[in-house]
Structure 1
Amino acid sequence: MAETYDPRRTAVLLVDPYNDFISEGGKLWPRLEPVAKKVGLLDNLRSVVTSAREAGIQVVFVPHRRWEPGDYETWAHPNPTQRNIKERHTFARGSWGGEFHPDFQPQAGDVVVHEHWAQSGFANTDLDFQLKQHGITHAVVVGVLANTCIESTGRFAMELGYHVTLVRDATAAFLPEMMNAAHELNGPTYAHAIVATGELVTAFEEARS
């Protein structure tokens, strides 16, 4: 792979690793499960995060807003996802579904940014500020969903001047068609690199040596 990742300048953005998304019993897991299992989502996320930490690469948690009573009730323009969250109480604060998957818990040195209300991890959060304070120029965006929060966060990162990497099998979506759109149609219009987990881990290992 031609891309190189300086550990001092690279961050892995782990987007929305909630139980409701990626754990058995989660509210959205039944919709995500077929694609997630096909691509090996959980194992690949573990590999990316573990290899990043071993290489000294910054890990940044980019969480969605945890639902609370009253959210979106008086909003003028809640989007379809927000309307669904209001009905289903997805990622409810204080609930198991609103906790991070047990394999993806913040560790010392990780950054957990402010929760995003919609799809971009940058809009109305401190993500850009945190990345700049840590000297980050390269953002590797993983987690869920490929065609919503991953794409929106990646696009926003590109607009702000970051080098953006997408990882085909360290993300998932509700349908294969959504994955295809995220990586074959839309991703090439903004991402600087679209790679597989194995390629990325090798690049991280090379960055250590």
Structure 2
Amino acid sequence: MATYEPAITALLCIDFYNDFLSVGGKLWPWVKEGAEEANLLENLRTIVRAAREAGIAIYHVPHHRWEPGDYVDWKYPSPYQLGAAERQAFAKNSWGGTFHKDFQVEVGDIVATEHWASSGFPNTDLEHQLKRYGKEKIICTGLLANTCVEATARIGMELGFHVTLVRDGTAARSHEALHAMLDIDGPTFAHEILTTAELVSAIRASASASEVSAGQASSKPL
């Protein structure tokens, strides 16, 4: 069974923006069907709540918020970057570029610097923020499954982290894209691919075991 010791585990909340997760968001139509089928929003609420209760650190991993002039002078912007600029996705100082109301930053949370492409690691402080607090295991949730979630998780593995994906804690623009990430690509780099129920059970069991271990250590005579 997977274990998630609170002291060394971090929950990565990747791109929990209104544009992705809220009705009326610019990119909500991309994921609406899959998100509703998977009960994504409720699952994310359950995962975040379980992590907080267990003492697992919450790391917000935000995509770059669009501003006028983005990518104009770039030599090789990707199609997705150009599309984001055209749609003004996650526009800075806009409702769409604000974290969903149920996933606001709380005291003690870590907010990584914004990533410009898919992965939350390159050109950000995410790796540093994880390692400075001794986090070895990362649970990757959020959007999109086959872009930012996969890229963050894959590079996380390359950097030496234990990586968990959550089947119903993400969504994509199509069933095929989600299948490719979870069932074809994911097994090549992720250490665990769990459902929300399986993950929450493992988190709670690990937290209980950690409490028992801490109690036993404190009761030992000096």
TM-score range, shorter chain: over 0.9
Query: Which residues of 2 match residues 16-35 of structure 1 at below 5 A?
Result: 16-35=15-34
Letter in 2 for 1:77: Y
Q: Aligned partners of 2:152 and 2:88: how far apart in 1?
A: 23
What's the secondary structure of 1:60's corresponding residue? strand
Corresponding residue for residue 38 of structure 2: 39
Paired residues, number: 208
Per-residue CA deviations over 1:48-71 (Å, capped at 9, x if unaligned) read: 100000000010000000000111
Corresponding residue for residue 144 of structure 1: 143
Q: Aligned partners of 1:77 and 1:60: how far apart in 2?
A: 29
Q: CA RMSD in A?
A: 0.5
What's the secondary structure of 2:168's corresponding residue? strand
Corresponding residue for residue 155 of structure 1: 154
**How many angstroms does 1:207 deviate by?**
1.8
**How many angstroms does 1:30 deviate by?**
1.1
What's the secondary structure of 1:21's corresponding residue? helix
Q: Aligned partners of 1:86 and 1:5: how far apart in 2?
A: 38
| Residue 70 in structure 1 maps to residue 69 in structure 2 | yes
| Residue 54 in structure 1 maps to residue 67 in structure 2 | no
Runs of at least 5 residues in structure 1 that lack an aligned partner in the other structure: none
What's the secondary structure of 2:6's corresponding residue? coil
Per-residue CA deviations over 1:174-193 (Å, capped at 9, x if unaligned) read: 10001100100000000000
Corresponding residue for residue 174 of structure 2: 175
Q: Aligned partners of 1:76 and 1:84: how far apart in 2?
A: 16
Q: Aligned partners of 2:191 and 2:26: how far apart in 1?
A: 33
Q: Aligned partners of 1:104 and 1:192: how far apart in 2?
A: 26
Q: Aligned partners of 2:15 and 2:80: how far apart in 1?
A: 14
Query: Which residues of 2 match residues 51-130 of structure 1 at below 5 A?
Result: 51-130=50-129
Letter in 2 for 1:149: C
Q: Give the conservation status (yes or no) of the 8 Å contact 2:4–2:207.
A: no
**How many angstroms does 1:108 deviate by?**
0.6
Letter in 2 for 1:112: V
Letter in 2 for 1:202: S
Letter in 1 for 2:56: I
Per-residue CA deviations over 1:91-128 (Å, capped at 9, x if unaligned) read: 00011000000000010110000000000000100000
**How many angstroms does 1:29 deviate by?**
0.4
Corresponding residue for residue 204 of structure 2: 205
Q: Aligned partners of 2:29 and 2:2: how far apart in 1?
A: 35
Corresponding residue for residue 211 of structure 2: none
Corresponding residue for residue 12 of structure 1: 11
Q: Aligned partners of 1:45 and 1:134: how far apart in 2?
A: 24
Corresponding residue for residue 183 of structure 2: 184
List, as ranges, runs of 4+ consecutive aligned residues in structure 1 with deviation greater than 3 Å. Answer: none
**How many angstroms does 1:208 deviate by?**
2.1
Per-residue CA deviations over 1:35-90 (Å, capped at 9, x if unaligned) read: 00001110000011000000000100000000001110110011011001111101
Whichever of the two has the greater Rg, that structure is 2
Q: Give the conservation status (yes or no) of the 8 Å contact 2:138–2:162.
A: yes
Runs of at least 5 residues in structure 2 that lack an aligned partner in the other structure: 209-222
**How many angstroms does 1:11 deviate by?**
0.3
**What is the TM-score normalised by the length of structure 2?**
0.93
